[in-house]
Amino acid sequence: MAEKKFVFIITHSYDNPDKVAGALQLATNMRAFDVELDFFLMDKGALLAKKGFAETLIWQAKDEFSPVASLIKTLIEDFNVKFYICASCVKHYELDKAELIPNSEIKPGSFLGQMLLERQGLTF
């Protein structure tokens, strides 16, 4: 069987942190099985690329998922996952004036289209 590759498209952040946490938890679990995956952050999800932003998502009342910031840290430091940021979202969310998380890179929407020709997309 051919190896599967995925791109997680994250479109939420502060507006639906439980969805973000669920996506990050799923990606962490999949990556532990050596599945190749990366992220494409767009719309409000682009804010996750701003250094320190994930630490503000302290929504959890129950221990259903690990904290968003911890999951991002694990994905970057332990699994070397890349976080691509939608170029169209950068100015809108003033990411051009912010320090970005490690392993992040600004890419146009056409890059996502190219990734989707080679990978399965999962949108959250």
68 close to 24: Cβ distance less than 8 angstroms? yes
Task: List pLDDT tens digits, range 2-54.
Answer: 589 999 999 999 999 989 999 999 999 999 999 999 999 999 999 999 999 99
Question: Global pTM?
Answer: 0.92
Q: Report the pLDDT averaged over residues 46-69.
A: 84
Q: Which CATH class is domain 5-123?
A: alpha beta
The domain limits of the chain are 5-123
Handedness of CA 18, 20, 21, 22 (dihedral sign): positive
Is the pLDDT score of 91 beyond 70?
A: yes
Band (pLDDT 50/70/90 cuts) for residue 58 is: confident
Tell how far CA 17 is from the center of its chain: 12
pLDDT surpasses 70 at 64: no
